[in-house]
A and B are shown apart, each in its own frame.
Chain A
Amino acid sequence: MTDTKYHEPEERSLQARRFKPASEEELAEAIELAFDYRGDVRLWLRHGETVEGYLFNRVNSGAQPGAPYVEIFPVDRGLQRPARTIPYGQIEEIEFSGEDTANGKSWEAWAAKKESQRQAEAARVEAEARARGHL
């Protein structure tokens, strides 16, 4: 249901950017960006592992045991998978690896398109929903 209309400037997408924070403050800032990002991110951990998935939560208040940490749904763990918890201190780099699903999807962007573009996009969305059995 559409009860939102976002007006964020579209050119600000972080897609494909990679951050190597140099301090705790920069790390916290990069994690906030990842939390707001509507696509998958890849976390490069200090012990050499990489984790790619949707970072849906970060707990940075000291009141929670283990905080600060992020919670991420890895892409490769199936549908009923548990979220993975990763302490801030283990994160070395953050890459905005997945498609930014919000980019270009604002009401304004839709309204600015030509009628033929809108029709083509509507047809594509309908065909995708039909292919999944959702229509």
Chain B
Amino acid sequence: MAVPLSQAYTVAKYVLTQKAKGITRYPLVLMLEPLFRCNLACAGCGKIQYPDHVLDMRLTPQQCWAAAEECGAPMVSIPGGEPLIHPEMPEIVRGLVKQQRYVYLCTNALLLERKLDDYVPSKYLTFSIHMDGLKEEHDHAVCRDGVYDVAVRAIRAALKRGFRVTSNTTLFDDAKPERVRAFFDEMMTLGVEGMMISPGYSYQKAPDQQHFLKRQRTQELFSELLRDRKPSWRFNQSPMFLEFLMGHVEYQCTPWGNPTYNVFGWQRPCYLLQDGYVKTFRELMEGTDWDRYGTGRHEKCADCMVHCGYEASAVNDTFGSWGGLARTVRAMVAPNRHGSGPSLLQPRPPRHDGHEVSRA
């Protein structure tokens, strides 16, 4: 297991406490975006397409800590923009660690080696390094040559100093499975604690049947990637989310699982869609019409299988019943039990999250 026991225990205790209290909608990971400014300009990245005066805005440390307290999630992911550009990021992280939250600082690592002195290794702090594949694919994805080499150097330096480091990979349909599998080997050889993978989000107005095919292609891709999984590969995410990506189980989206806070406020409904903003976490949770979003419910959700919507569904499945726990244990101890082929030609996989989903 790639996640340390103390973190797994904290998350399990948190989820079970929510369930014991009868709370059905609870946040799992706060997505904290303290700025949108980045030092890369990856083509198609919707997070950085703002006027300069918006890119220059920053959340203060106090705003970040207050958002984490208000939300209460045991984990905080800090994407952006590039968080290491924020001059007060070390202070923000120190405050979140003091709150005993597990912080994933998502960075492209261009500044990491230079900034390592500003941080203290802790079980609560993980540098989650954006790596979209081997050198050729990664540099192509981030639209700049040499970024992969800088990131690898930074990973080595961070590991040497005792920091927790994971890789964080977004894959689109054009990924070549054999190259990605080689990339997994490379990351494990580098010594990262675990890898995080997710399909990217794309949206194109299209007939429902085309959306269905696109989800199928995503499942095919991840089945190819994760078939005959090597024992050396460690993934820093829910085993059931990987099962979902491979098409072995079906979930409805849990958009409130990863609530997003940024310079505009609390973002409705999720990390990827921007349907508006509210001032408080409570307004977000109680005032959002959640039933409008998710597979089969909203046009822009049609192709989405991204971690920020479905990882919380997978965790909810694990802790929702003895059956879910058993499925998770099976997925952990026998990840290759489905054989080498994708499940797509088999009957439709069962749903385990209690939601209904419609498919055209």
Contacts and interface: CB of A to CB of B under 8 A. Distances in A.
A42 to B, nearest CB: 12
A1 B201 CA distance: 12
Contacts of A53: 53
Contact of A135 (B47, B111, B143, B272): B111
B201 A5 contact: yes
A19 interface: no
B51 A3 contact: no
Contacts of B200: 2-5
Contacts of B20: none
A125 B40 contact: yes
A105 interface: yes
B277 A110 contact: no
A106 B111 contact: no
Contacts of A80: 60
B158 interface: no
Nearest to B128: A1
B50 A4 contact: no
A27 B142 CA distance: 39
Given A5-B202, A125-B40, A73 B130 contact: no
Contacts, number: 118
Contacts of A101: 49-51
Interface in B45-82: 45-47, 49-51, 53-54, 56-58, 60, 79-80, 82
Interface residues of A, number: 41
Nearest to B264: A56
Interface in A95-135: 98-99, 101-102, 105-107, 109-111, 118, 121-122, 125-126, 129, 134-135
B44 interface: yes
A56 B277 contact: yes
A135 B111 CA distance: 6
Contacts of B111: 134-135
Interface stretch (A43-51, A57-65, A86-94): A57-65
Given A2-B142, A3-B201, A110 B50 contact: no
B172 interface: yes
A1 B51 contact: no
Interface string B100-120: 000000101011000000000
Contact of A73 (B42, B57, B79, B204): B57
B43 A79 contact: no
A54 B287 CA distance: 24
A73 B143 CA distance: 30
A2 to B, nearest CB: 4
Interface string B203-219: 11000000000000000
A118 B53 contact: no
A7 B82 CA distance: 23
A125 B202 contact: no
Given A122-B144, A125-B41, A6 B203 contact: yes
Interface in A2-59: 2-7, 35, 38-40, 53-54, 56-59
B201 A79 contact: no
Contact of A107 (B44, B58, B265): B44
B202 to A, nearest CB: 5
B353 interface: no
Interface in B298-343: 306
Contacts of B39: 129, 134-135
Contacts of A58: 276
Contacts of B272: 3-4
Nearest to A39: B51
A111 B44 CA distance: 10
Interface of A: 1-7, 35, 38-40, 53-54, 56-59, 63, 71, 73, 75, 79-80, 98-99, 101-102, 105-107, 109-111, 118, 121-122, 125-126, 129, 134-135
5 contacts: A3-B170, A7-B203, A56-B264, A79-B58, A129-B40
Q: List the 4 closest A-B pairs by CB distance, nearest first.
A: A110-B43, A107-B44, A2-B42, A129-B39
Interface of B: 37, 39-47, 49-51, 53-54, 56-58, 60, 79-80, 82, 85, 106, 108, 110-111, 130, 132, 141-145, 168, 170, 172, 198, 200-204, 264-265, 272, 276-277, 287, 306
